[in-house]
Chains A and B, each alone.
Chain A
Amino acid sequence: MDAIAVDGLRKHYGDVQALDGVSFSVREGEIFGLLGPNGAGKSTTVRVLVTLTHPDEGSASVGGYDVVRDAGPVRRTIGYVPQESGIDRRATGRENLVLQGRVHGMSGRALRERVEELLGVVGITDAADRIVEGYSGGMRRRLDVALGLVHRPRVLFLDEPTTGLDPEARVAMWEEVGRLAKRESLTILLTTHYLEEADELADRLAIVSQGKVVVDGTPGDLKSRLSGDAVHVELADGQVEDARNVLERVHAPVEATLADGRTLVSRVPDGGHALPGILSALAAAGIPVAGVSVHRPSLDDVYLHYTGRDFATEDRGS
C-alpha cells in the first residue's frame, strides 16, 4: 500500500488556482521530494495532506486514511513540520515538546522519556530548558522537527525544512533527515525549492510547477532522461533568431530561451566537444557572444526541459 496517494487535487484561493490537478504517490519508507519554485503549489499540497485545508476536487489518503473523511486517524498518523514553525516562543523547548505530546494523548514517564530522547536526537538537549525566543534559526528548526516526531508518527511532512538556514545548518539538517528516516522508520514527504536538496535527500521526487506535477521519478532517472549536456549561449546583441538558425545547422538545436531573452539553451551529446564548433559558427555568422557555459544534466535542466522555464528566474519571480 502507498503511504501517501494523491489523485487529481485541485484548490483555488480567490482567483489563484493553487492546485490544478496534482497526482502522485509515495511508497512506505520512502523519502519523497516535492520540488518546485515558490508558489508552485507544494505547500498547499502538504496543507491538504495534513488536514489543514480541504481540496476543491480530487482525493488524497495518508496511511490508508482519506484526508477529508478520516481526518482524525490521519492526524494521529502524521507528523507535520510546517514552513512557518508555530513554536510557542515564550515557552522552553521542552515545554513545547511536552504540550505537543499531551495533545497526542501521551503522559507521564513515557512522555518525559520520549521528550528527552528527541532532544538528544535533534541535538538541543543543552538548550531544552531555555526560552525558545533565544534559539538560533537552526535550533528552532531542529525543535520543529522534534515536535513533529513526539508521538512516533509513521509519515512525516517537512515543508521547506531548510529555508532560512545558513548553508552549514542546511547540510546538518540534510544529514539529520536521512538519519531520522532510518531511525524512526518513517515515510517522509518534503517540499523544497532547492534543487540540490531534492537531489541530495529524495529517493524519488515530483517536480511541481503552476499547480501540477510536471514529471516524477528518481533524481537519477530524471537526469538520465535528458541525454547530453546543456550549452548556454548568451548573446551580446540579442540576435536570437539568427543565432537559433546557426545552432540548428551545427546540430545544437535550441531547447529554450531563458527569461533574460538573450540566452539560448541547446542540448548536445557532449558539451566540451561541441563548443568550438558552436562558437566558430556563430563568429562566422557575425553574431557576437557575451558568454557561454556547459552544464552537465542537473535538476535545473530537468526543470527547464519539462517546463520550458528557468528554475531560478521562476523561483525569484513569485
Chain B
Amino acid sequence: MTALRHTWFMIGRQTRNLLREPIWIVILLVQPMVWLVLYGQLFKNVTRLGGFGTTSYITFLAPAIVVMNAFFGASWSGMSMVFDVDRKFIERFLATPASRASLVLSQIVRSSFQAALQAIVILLVALALGVHIRTGVLGWLVILAVAILVNSAFAGVSQGIALLARREATVIALANFISLPLLFLSSTLLAQAQMPHWMRAISDFNPVNWGVRAARAVVLPATDWGSVALHLGYLAALTAVTAAFAMWTFRVYQRSL
C-alpha cells in the first residue's frame, strides 16, 4: 500500500514538472501525428502488394504507430532517472521512509501514462483520416493496453540501463541502438507476408511486433481474439520481467553509494 501511495506521489511530481514545460507537451502530442501522416503518405500505395488485410494503408498503419510511439517514448524514459540520480533527488529520498519501489515504478508508470495519452491522440487523428476501429470500445481498450504494456516493458529496460550507467549518453546510445532494428524487425510498416522469411521468423520474438499484432488485430477484419489475448499476455509477462530488472538495478545503484 505504502509503495502504491508513494508511487502516486512521485507520478504526481513528474507529471506536474512535465506540464510546466509546454514545449514538451507540444512535442509529445504533435510527434505521433507527424509519424502517422508522413508514413501514411509515403507508403500509401504499398497495400497493392497484398497481405495487408485491407486496402487502406492508413488503417493498417494507425494501430502500429501507436505501438511504435509507445516504444520510442519508453526507450528514452531512463533520461529522467539519470537526471534525478544526478541531482541527488533519489538520494534525498533514500534517507526517508519513501518506498524504494516507488522511486523506480513511478518512472515506468508515468512513462506509460504518457504513451496512453499519445495513443488516444493518434487514434483520434486516425479517425479523422477515415480509419474505422471495427471492434469499437473493446478495440480502443486493447490498443490502449498495448500502448501501456509495450511502453512499460521497454521503460523497465531503459530505467535499468539508466541506473546501471547513470549517464545520459549511455541511455541515448541504447535508445538509438535498439529503436530502428526493432522497428524494422516488426510488421509496423509492412505486412508480415511481405517480410523476408528470416525477418518474419525473428519478428515472432520481437515485443514490438507482439504489440503491433494485437493492436492491429482489433482494427482489421477477422479479429483473432485468442491471438490478441496471447500477445497481451506475452507483453504483460515481459513487463513484469523488465520491471524486476529495473528494481534489481536500483539495488545495484544503492549498493554503489
Contact = CB atoms under 8 A, between A and B. Distances in A.
Contact of B9 (A90, A102, A147): A102
Interface string B83-122: 0000111111111111100000000000000000000000
Contacts of B96: 75, 80, 100, 103-104
Interface stretch (B12-20, B54-62, B137-145): B12-20
B87 A89 contact: yes
B97 A105 contact: yes
B168 to A, nearest CB: 16
Contacts of B87: 86-89
Contacts of B91: 52, 82, 86
Given A47-B257, A90-B20, A82 B13 contact: no
A90 B15 CA distance: 11
A99 B89 contact: no
B8 to A, nearest CB: 9
A88 B17 contact: yes
Name the residue in B6, B91, B96 with the highest tally of chain A Cβ atoms < 10 Å from its Cβ.
Answer: B96
Contacts of A84: 88
B17 A51 contact: no
A287 B73 CA distance: 75
B9 A76 contact: no
Contacts of B98: 103
Interface residue range, chain B: 20 to 34
A87 B17 CA distance: 13
Interface string A143-165: 00001000000000000000000
Interface string A287-318: 00000000000000000000000000000000
Nearest to B94: A52
A104 B97 contact: yes
Contacts of A99: 9, 13
Interface in A71-115: 72, 75-76, 78, 80, 82, 84-91, 95, 99-100, 102-105
B93 to A, nearest CB: 6
B9 A86 contact: no
Interface string B13-49: 1001100100000000000000000000000000000
A102 B87 CA distance: 20
B97 A72 contact: yes
Nearest to A50: B95
A72 B96 CA distance: 8
Contacts of A87: 87, 89, 92
A53 interface: yes
Contacts of B92: 80, 82, 85-87, 147
A103 B97 contact: yes
B13 A91 contact: yes
A75 B95 contact: yes
A87 B91 CA distance: 10
Given A47-B257, A51-B94, A82-B91, A91 B17 contact: yes
B97 A88 contact: no
B68 to A, nearest CB: 29
Interface string B62-96: 00000000000000000000000001111111111
17 contacts: A51-B94, A51-B95, A52-B94, A52-B95, A72-B97, A75-B95, A75-B97, A82-B95, A84-B88, A86-B89, A86-B90, A86-B92, A89-B87, A91-B17, A100-B96, A103-B99, A104-B96
Interface of B: 6, 9, 13, 16-17, 20, 87-99, 257
> A-B pairs with the 8 shortest C-beta distances?
A86-B92, A86-B88, A103-B98, A80-B95, A50-B95, A90-B17, A84-B88, A53-B257
